[in-house]
Chain A
Amino acid sequence: MNIGVIKAYILKEFKELIRTRMIFIVYAIPIIVIVLFGYGIKLDVTHSRVLIIDNDQSKLSRELIEKFKHSKYFNATELNISESKALKLIKQAKKDAVIIIPNSFEKRLIKNQKVNIGVFIDGSFPNRARTIENYIEGVIIDDLQSYAPKTSISTNVININPRSLFNQAMRDEDAIVPGLIGFVLLVAPAVLSALLIVKEKEEGTIFNFYASPISKEDFLIAKLTPPFILHSLNIFILFLIAVYLFNVPFRGSFTLYWFSSELYILISLAIGLLVSVVTRSQIVALVLTVVITVLPGFLYSGMIMPISSMSQESYIEAHMFPVMYYNHIIYDTFLIGEGLNSRKIILYLIILTIYASVLFILGRLFLKKELKK
């Protein structure tokens, strides 16, 4: 350890980052991503565009249509066009579903005869289609139940009274924003550090390192300290955005959030470092980092798909990326607040620590201090 040399190196790296205006982008990426995604990603299916064809024009059918128009899940419009024209609208992606009310709807219902309501749903987005299907059925049944006394239909009514723990209002923001922190803090530091060393290799300035008396460890410390410090500030910025802009509750301990986030940034930097050490050109380094961070970071964050529902290959792959472990801790600190009382969190912290150490040891192993033959 040579403190003087490290200091000089750190100073050089800092100046480089500031002079190339990198420092601006270090903060711009996380902020833009969390704000855009926080407003942009919605899990619940709302405003699905439904077209209702009312062939009955009776009081009952009109009231059913009103129910659809007042639901926040649908943007219902009523049009009297032929069935084939309506299907064409689905084909052109202008409508998500078409509901056809038959012409003797009211009459048959009062006489307690079977009524057939036709529903066509655009199935090209499977999950959305399934949800829309359930909602449409729900609205229709709910509406008809209220007629039960009038129409002499006997019904047994069961209501479901959902209470969600940890996220009472079922807000999308609460479910998404903490996950985004895990995504952003995986991608941004890795992309920054991935080019740090390979850039010197390509430009030839790496020979300064080969020739100087600085040791490999000191070199790594010096290289990674500036991005680490710069990104540490992001932990606080992201926290403030989550809590004050998106009103996500924070129930856990801030220390745990802070500590695990610093650890996580180290992992992300180490991933970039490893890429930077093993590749020989900036192009490959950049593409490789994007491939191993952006899509996995998003898919395995648990935001869109819960890990427990994944099947074999993806389930294993999810466990290979750090984002799953970190996000478990993050969701806990924001929404639950169990903290270190939960064994799983302690286990995940240990896994993250091991993860970071292994990556750094690998990076240190692959870093060469002489010209490769």
Chain B
Amino acid sequence: MIKVFLSIVTKELLDFLRSWGLVVLVLYSFTLDVYIAGGGMQIEPRNVSVGYVDYTGGGISQKILSHLHEPEFLTPKMFLSQRELSKAIFNKEIMVGIIFDQEFEKNYRNKKEATIDVLLDATAASQSFTTLSYLQNIVLNFSKLNIPIDIDIHKLFNPNSDEHSFMALSELLSVITMLSILLPAIVFVREKEEGTWDIMLLMPINPKITILAKSFSQVIIIVAGVMITVGLVLFNGFNLPMNGSFLAFLLLTFFYAFTSAGIGLFIASVSKSMMQTAQLSMLIMMPLIFLSGAWTPVYAMHPILEKLSLLSPLRYYIEGCESIFFRGTDFVDLWHYFAGVLILGSILYWYGFRKIGKLF
């Protein structure tokens, strides 16, 4: 039994290693791809171009503008009229326009409500949102001086808001999902297409063992890749914190890869050709990757989608990983992530066994 299992695993691993194109691709995804995403991606605004029109003659307005500095903002550019400013925004030369009208300084000095008009290019909505909250903050700091209140903000787990390690981790999770669905799906459907799958089923081996062994071989490849990324790229390249237990992460990754392999198995069992597999895995993979909480927190989504995401193993995996790396959650408190992944995995394998585990 175990011998059969191991020999199938070995065969699949050899198969993988011999197709060097695939090896190179997998290595690329686990190293360079994660590195580039983590190194360069930033959601916070940088180099935002600011233009302003100042009808007040300086003073307070210049004080406010002096708070807009690099690296978030380029030095504010002065425009003579509002029309010129709007034109620059239209041509996408300026992203944020600030207008201080004549009343502004007078109102401010007289302790009335002073208003700044801000023009935003909302085609870059994410930038606009963040820029606006920056501005609000600067202005708040101006008013705050006079209120005897001190808001003591502690950011837990990632005090410097280091986005690089976060982005690299998100990218890694996407890569894991992508490969752990695609590789097993391909392994199964290729045999189906070439007709060798029927031969496998005819052999005096329990087909369940064949299926499990084949999935296991791909899981090994994924876990090995994850080790490389975490060790080389995340810890060395981006100083990802490790507040939880590494063992928990490894276990969760292993189970998750197995469950994703189950999705691959499901895809392979319902499709007849490589072409169908390709299209189907796209159809399943993309919503899985982008709607499981890596980009938008699940609770902020449409209620129907929020319910649907309970079906996605990646949802549990992402939250689990963030908890392990950043929050340092105790092992015991991680149980529902493990449970979610395992339950979904069992269902998928149960279906896979029934669908392609027998000849007729």
Contacts and interface: CB of A to CB of B under 8 A. Distances in A.
Partners in one complex: yes
Contacts of A288: 21, 25
A199 interface: yes
Interface stretch (B277-285, B338-346, B347-355): B277-285
A283 B148 contact: no
A168 B300 CA distance: 22
A144 B149 contact: yes
A141 B140 contact: yes
B91 to A, nearest CB: 7
A92 interface: yes
A218 to B, nearest CB: 23
B290 A298 contact: yes
B290 A313 contact: no
B136 A29 contact: no
B118 A162 contact: yes
A284 B159 CA distance: 41
Contacts of B22: 283-284, 287
Interface stretch (B34-42, B203-211, B249-257): B34-42
B342 to A, nearest CB: 19
A291 B25 contact: yes
A264 B137 CA distance: 41
B263 interface: no
A115 B150 contact: yes
A115 B39 contact: no
Interface stretch (A152-160, A229-237, A253-261, A365-373): A152-160
A295 interface: yes
B45 A309 contact: yes
A331 interface: yes
A13 to B, nearest CB: 12
A351 to B, nearest CB: 16
A161 B116 contact: yes
B191 to A, nearest CB: 12
A370 B90 CA distance: 54
B158 interface: yes
A39 interface: yes
Interface in A21-43: 21-22, 25-26, 28-29, 32-33, 36-37, 39-43
A310 B182 contact: no
A291 B147 contact: no
B322 interface: yes
A156 to B, nearest CB: 6
Interface string A170-189: 10101110000000000110
Of the listed residues A75, A281, A306, the one surrounded by the most CB atoms of chain B closer than 10 A to its CB is A306
A79 interface: no
B274 A286 contact: yes
B276 interface: yes
A120 B153 CA distance: 6
B10 to A, nearest CB: 19
A320 to B, nearest CB: 11
B203 to A, nearest CB: 24
Nearest to B174: A295
Contact of A40 (B113, B179, B273, B302): B302
Contacts of A121: 153-156
Given A117-B150, A117-B152, A124 B166 contact: yes
Interface in A124-167: 124-131, 133-138, 140-141, 144-145, 148, 153-167
Contacts of A112: 148
B143 A39 contact: no
A137 B144 CA distance: 10
A40 B301 contact: yes
Contacts of B156: 87, 90, 120-123
A20 B276 contact: yes
B328 A91 contact: yes
B331 interface: no
Contacts of A287: 22, 25-26, 179, 182-183, 186
B163 interface: yes
B169 to A, nearest CB: 9
Interface in B12-29: 19, 21-22, 25-26, 28-29
A134 B118 contact: no
B235 interface: no
B236 interface: no
B282 A188 contact: yes
Nearest to B93: A344
B329 interface: yes
A133 B151 CA distance: 10
B123 interface: yes
B92 interface: yes
B84 interface: no
Contacts of B296: 40-43
Interface of A: 20-22, 25-26, 28-29, 32-33, 36-37, 39-49, 75, 87, 90-93, 108-109, 112-131, 133-138, 140-141, 144-145, 148, 153-168, 170, 172, 174-176, 187-188, 191-192, 194-195, 199, 279-284, 286-288, 290-291, 294-295, 298-299, 302-306, 308-315, 317, 331, 335-336, 338, 342, 344
10 closest pairs, A vs B, by CB? A314-B40, A175-B125, A124-B326, A167-B122, A164-B122, A123-B155, A123-B158, A126-B161, A134-B133, A25-B279
Given A299-B41, A304-B295, A305-B126, 5 more contacts: A162-B132, A165-B122, A287-B25, A294-B285, A308-B95
27 contacts: A20-B275, A37-B287, A41-B296, A123-B326, A124-B166, A125-B166, A126-B166, A129-B155, A130-B130, A137-B153, A153-B147, A158-B143, A160-B139, A163-B117, A167-B123, A195-B274, A287-B183, A291-B25, A294-B282, A295-B171, A295-B174, A299-B37, A304-B43, A304-B295, A309-B44, A311-B39, A314-B36
